[in-house]
């Protein structure tokens, strides 16, 4: 008999000295005397993968996180050895593997700088209880190193000094520092000496990260099973680290329809139909732009997925059409729990086809959720996903619902200790049969994936829209997400800010919080401040639980309504700007929100900043997160910035006080920026865009800007029918030149640009468009110039203003 004490005595095990080495194209295998094999795959010049087995045999190589589109290939691969190390070198990274103990150190190949080095390196403990190993890794923390990322953790930006757990959990009314919550994204970014790298620990078991919490100079991560399997990606720019991470784990498979970047209104629950109409009509009456209305669980018959409560919603198809005629896209919630009911077709079918999850010894996994006792589809089975996708036919194709909201997919189970399935539940895991210990963190992701495929199929030729609560790394390929059940408090407003930035840093940019707070009720001031932050989040939705009063933009009196309208209008004006940022995210993996550290990692002031962030490429925003504020102090990064409200110019690199009464907030625009704007619309597509407004912020010197547009929905853009404008601005004492380089086959509806010239240091004397002088009396009003959208070079010539 093995006694616990004996097991404990066994403790951590370590690889011993390397006795053999072999190379297979881009992959190297190092074997230790005690049978540990380290597999290093050179994925790209800047991405290495490290995998360990303690039994000489690797598990089947399968990952839900890594996309099949991940790029492979490198320019250079040199392998050398001396008596101490093997040395693997690409154009970006030098990796040394110690012959004595398999420890790894990673260097910048350009300047030989040490980026990341093992402390104990890989070690493990045998798991008597479950078989396999508890796999562990520890690395030295370099002097002054900071850490970022890790998904939705509700903590300050810099993770240093903290320990975290990844186990997807339904966390109603979580607070600052609650851990874990809804998402498991085991990816972090390290930064020291102005150089950033990333580590993605692709292991779906319950995992842990310790950033100098246990020991001041050590960072470690470990998991309760599976393989030590991680990717190291080098920057040195943080943006490139995140872009590399999304190259591996994927980017959204298509752009969202533009309306999905509009404002959304939600509540648990709007019913019956007359209530839904009252809400949507009020938006139109009060002229508050809104594109989407949500149906929470009460639209269903006894919470049965894919059914309708006919008392509340007698004719869903008609209602959905009427809402759409009024500009509202209907989004319906779908949960994973399927009510045990022999007269319910979805239940019967899944039972017949053997699609429900089972316990280790055979019984079904039974758990209580909203419908009462439920069984749960095993979304890790590809057949189940296909079946699930098919269930959306009626809802989407026939009834006309435009988006689906996946909730409770942690999976959440009521009235049980762990709030989820027990560990012994079995999963298909795409043929790699396993228990819930391994499948838990990806269950919600696979549900969202199946939902996405349903939406994609039945929305075609329009784009799908899905929102999920639970997620693992890679979920950003299929869906948007929100931060779960937050609370209507000031603290939660700043948590929402941190979470959205963190999710963007973690490769998942299509994110937002329940504006105003889900639990409890905000007062008007808090709601207004939250809207101000929310319009800068890629996903922008007010949501609240039913039992705490109203939370519509007009629920707090006229003054607040006016403020809310004003900010939502700004969102709608900035849609082409946000869409361009989304396009960059979807194509290049550039986060839509950039924490200041991601924006300027060389400036040490940014390393511990939390509140300020860059929205897209050029706009700096900073929410007010305290009551009774007339303004706030904030850090403005290096460079010159125009105040959004009055176009005054300030110099960055300092903390400054910014006035911001309740109807304002600190917003700045980077000098040299060209910001595209659409007219205010009540919903996307309400108006045909008659001209594109461009705010041009003068700068001495050069700056580049982009504007991406397409049909705002559909897939033609993938066949080249998009319009991309690359602008090159050059400002001098007495002239401003803007060049435009166009690509794509999409013809925009407008013919002209309305160019608003801001901050010109001279009076305009002459304007040339493609070398032809234009008549100023007809085309220039004040500082606004109207010219053809086709120009390639705009040359504005001034008289020097004489400064007295």
Interaction site with ligand MIG (CB under 6 A): 268, 296-297, 333, 407-408, 469, 484-485, 518, 543
Query: Do residues 735 and 795 lie in contact, with contact meaning Cβ atoms separated by under 8 Å?
Result: yes
Residue closer to ligand MIG by CB (options 296, 695) is 296
User: Which of 371, 469, 477, 466 has its CA nearest to residue 414?
Assistant: 371
Residue closer to ligand MIG by CB (options 47, 331) is 331
Q: Point out which residues pair with 757 in neighbouring strands.
A: 696
- 145 catalytic per annotation: no
The distance of closest approach from Cβ of residue 551 to ligand MIG in the complex, given in angstroms and rounded to an integer, is 12
Convert 737-763 to b/e letters by CB count within 10 Å (16 or more is b).
Answer: bbebeeebebebebeebbbbbbbbebe
Residue closer to ligand MIG by CB (options 296, 600) is 296
Q: Label the pairing between strands 146-149 and 187-192.
A: antiparallel
**CA-based torsion, 335, 341, 346, 347: positive or negative:** positive
The distance of closest approach from Cβ of residue 268 to ligand MIG in the complex, given in angstroms and rounded to an integer, is 4
Tell me what percent of the chain is helix, strand and coil, each rounded to the nearest 5.
25, 35, 45
Residue closer to ligand MIG by CB (options 297, 614) is 297
Burial class (CB in 10 A: 0-12, 13-18, 19+), 649: middle
The distance of closest approach from Cβ of residue 724 to ligand MIG in the complex, given in angstroms and rounded to an integer, is 36
The distance of closest approach from Cβ of residue 450 to ligand MIG in the complex, given in angstroms and rounded to an integer, is 19
In the set 202, 296, 407, 611, the catalytic residue is 407
How many CB atoms neighbour CB 591 within 10 A? 28
Residue closer to ligand MIG by CB (options 405, 508) is 405
The DSSP secondary structure of 275-333, one letter per residue, reads: HHHHHHHHHHHHT----EEEE-GGGSBTTBTT---TTT-S-HHHHHHHHHHTTPEEEEE
Residue closer to ligand MIG by CB (options 297, 696) is 297
Query: Do residues 415 and 406 lie in contact, with contact meaning Cβ atoms separated by under 8 Å?
Result: no
Distance CA 150, CA 185 (A): 5
The torsion angles phi and psi of 602, rounded to 5 degrees, stand at: -75, -20
Q: Which helix (H) or strand (E) holds 572?
A: helix 558-573
The distance of closest approach from Cβ of residue 484 to ligand MIG in the complex, given in angstroms and rounded to an integer, is 5
Residue closer to ligand MIG by CB (options 469, 477) is 469
Maximum C-alpha span of the chain:
97
- 485 catalytic per annotation: yes
Q: Label the pairing between strands 619-621 and 667-670.
A: antiparallel
The distance of closest approach from Cβ of residue 494 to ligand MIG in the complex, given in angstroms and rounded to an integer, is 20
The distance of closest approach from Cβ of residue 412 to ligand MIG in the complex, given in angstroms and rounded to an integer, is 7
Distance CA 527, CA 564 (A): 8
Distance CA 76, CA 82 (A): 20
Residue closer to ligand MIG by CB (options 514, 525) is 514
Tokens 């390639």 belong to 792
**CA-based torsion, 527, 529, 535, 536: positive or negative:** negative
First vs last Cα of the chain: how many Å apart? 94
- 193 catalytic per annotation: no
Residue closer to ligand MIG by CB (options 169, 601) is 169
Cis peptide preceding 436, ω within 30 of 0 = no
The distance of closest approach from Cβ of residue 170 to ligand MIG in the complex, given in angstroms and rounded to an integer, is 7
Determine the residue with CB nearest ligand MIG.
268
In the set 485, 514, 671, 710, the catalytic residue is 485
Residue closer to ligand MIG by CB (options 360, 416) is 416
The distance of closest approach from Cβ of residue 370 to ligand MIG in the complex, given in angstroms and rounded to an integer, is 7
The distance of closest approach from Cβ of residue 334 to ligand MIG in the complex, given in angstroms and rounded to an integer, is 10
Question: What Å distances lie between residue 406 and 331, 335, 581, CA to CA?
Answer: 10, 6, 25
User: Which of 799, 777, 791, 684 has its CA nearest to residue 740?
Assistant: 791
Question: What Å distances lie between residue 314 and 301, 308, 392, 399, 748, CA to CA?
Answer: 12, 8, 19, 12, 41
In the set 152, 291, 410, 710, the catalytic residue is 410
**Which positions are catalytic?**
407, 410, 485
């Amino acid at each position: 008999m093995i006694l616990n004490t004996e097991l404990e005595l066994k403790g951590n095990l370590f690889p011993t000295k390397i006795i053999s080495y072999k190379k297979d194209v881009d992959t190297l295998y190092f074997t230790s005397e005690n049978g540990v094999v380290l597999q290093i795959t050179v994925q790209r010049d800047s991405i290495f993968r490290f995998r360990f087995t303690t039994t000489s045999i690797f598990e089947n190589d399968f990952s839900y996180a890594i996309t099949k589109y991940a790029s492979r290939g490198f320019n250079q691969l040199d392998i050398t050895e001396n008596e101490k190390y093997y040395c693997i070198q690409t154009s970006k990274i030098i990796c040394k593997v110690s012959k004595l103990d398999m420890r790894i150190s990673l260097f910048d190949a350009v300047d030989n700088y040490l980026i990341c080095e093992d402390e104990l390196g890989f070690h493990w403990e045998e798991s008597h209880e479950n078989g396999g190993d508890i796999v562990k890794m520890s690395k030295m923390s370099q002097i002054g190193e900071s850490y970022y990322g890790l998904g939705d953790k509700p903590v300050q930006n810099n993770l240093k000094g903290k320990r975290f757990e990844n186990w997807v959990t339904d966390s109603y009314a979580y607070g600052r520092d609650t851990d874990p919550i809804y998402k498991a994204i085991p990816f972090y970014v390290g930064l020291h000496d102005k150089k950033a790298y990333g580590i993605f620990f692709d292991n779906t078991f319950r995992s842990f990260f310790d950033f100098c919490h246990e020991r001041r100079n050590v960072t470690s991560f470990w998991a309760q099973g599976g393989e030590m399997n991680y990717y190291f990606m080098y920057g040195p720019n943080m943006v490139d680290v995140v872009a590399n991470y999304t190259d591996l784990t994927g980017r959204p498979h298509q752009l969202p329809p533009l309306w999905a970047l509009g404002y959304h209104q939600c509540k648990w629950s709007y019913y019956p139909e007359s209530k839904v109409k009252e809400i949507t009509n009020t938006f139109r009456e009060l002229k508050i732009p809104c594109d989407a209305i949500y149906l929470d669980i009460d639209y269903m018959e006894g919470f049965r997925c894919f059914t309708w409560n006919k008392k509340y919603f007698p004719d869903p198809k008609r209602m959905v059409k009427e809402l759409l005629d009024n500009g509202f896209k209907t989004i319906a919630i779908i949960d994973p729990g399927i009510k045990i009911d022999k007269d319910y077709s979805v239940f019967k079918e899944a039972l017949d086809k053997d699609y429900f999850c089972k316990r280790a010894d055979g019984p079904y996994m039974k758990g209580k959720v909203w419908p009462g006792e439920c069984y749960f589809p095993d979304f890790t089975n590809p057949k189940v996903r296909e079946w699930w996708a098919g269930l959306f036919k009626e809802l989407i194709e026939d009834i006309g619902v435009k988006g689906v909201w996946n909730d409770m997919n942690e999976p959440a189970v009521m009235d049980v200790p762990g709030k989820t399935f027990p560990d012994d539940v079995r999963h298909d895991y795409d043929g790699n049969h396993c228990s819930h210990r391994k499948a838990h963190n990806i269950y919600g992701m696979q549900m969202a994936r199946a939902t996405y495929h349903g939406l994609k199929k039945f929305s075609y030729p329009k784009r799908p829209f899905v929102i999920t609560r639970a997620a693992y790394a890679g979920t950003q390929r299929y869906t948007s997400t929100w931060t779960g059940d937050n609370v209507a408090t000031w603290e939660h407003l700043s948590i929402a800010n941190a979470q959205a930035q963190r999710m963007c840093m973690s490769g998942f940019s299509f994110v937002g919080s329940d504006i105003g707070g889900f639990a409890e009720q905000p007062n008007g001031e808090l709601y207004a401040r939250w809207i101000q932050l929310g319009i800068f989040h890629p996903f922008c939705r007010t949501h609240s639980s039913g039992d705490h009063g109203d939370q519509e933009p007009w629920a707090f009196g006229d003054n607040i309504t006016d403020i809310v309208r004003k900010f939502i209008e700004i969102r709608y004006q900035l849609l082409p700007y946000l869409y361009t940022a989304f396009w960059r995210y979807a194509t290049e993996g550039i986060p839509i929100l950039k924490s200041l550290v991601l924006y300027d990692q060389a400036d040490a002031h940014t390393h511990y900043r939390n509140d300020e962030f860059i929205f897209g490429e050029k706009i700096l925003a900073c929410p007010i997160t305290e009551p009774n504020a007339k303004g706030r102090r904030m850090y403005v990064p290096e460079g010159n910035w125009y105040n959004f409200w009055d176009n005054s110019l300030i110099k960055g690199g300092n903390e400054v006080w910014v006035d911001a009464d309740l109807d304002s907030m600190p917003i700045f625009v980077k000098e040299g920026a060209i910001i595209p704007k659409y007219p205010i619309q009540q919903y996307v597509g309400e108006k045909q865009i008659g001209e594109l407004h461009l705010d041009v912020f003068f700068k001495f010197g050069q700056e580049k800007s982009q504007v991406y547009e397409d049909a705002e929905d559909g897939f033609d853009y993938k066949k080249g029918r998009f319009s991309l404008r690359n602008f090159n601005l050059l400002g001098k004492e007495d002239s401003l030149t803007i060049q435009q380089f166009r690509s794509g086959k999409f013809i925009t509806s407008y013919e002209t640009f309305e160019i608003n010239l801001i901050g010109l240091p001279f009076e305009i004397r002459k304007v040339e468009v493609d070398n032809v002088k234009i008549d100023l009396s007809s085309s220039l009003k004040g500082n606004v110039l109207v010219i053809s959208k086709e120009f390639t070079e705009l040359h504005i010539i001034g008289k020097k203003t004489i400064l007295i």
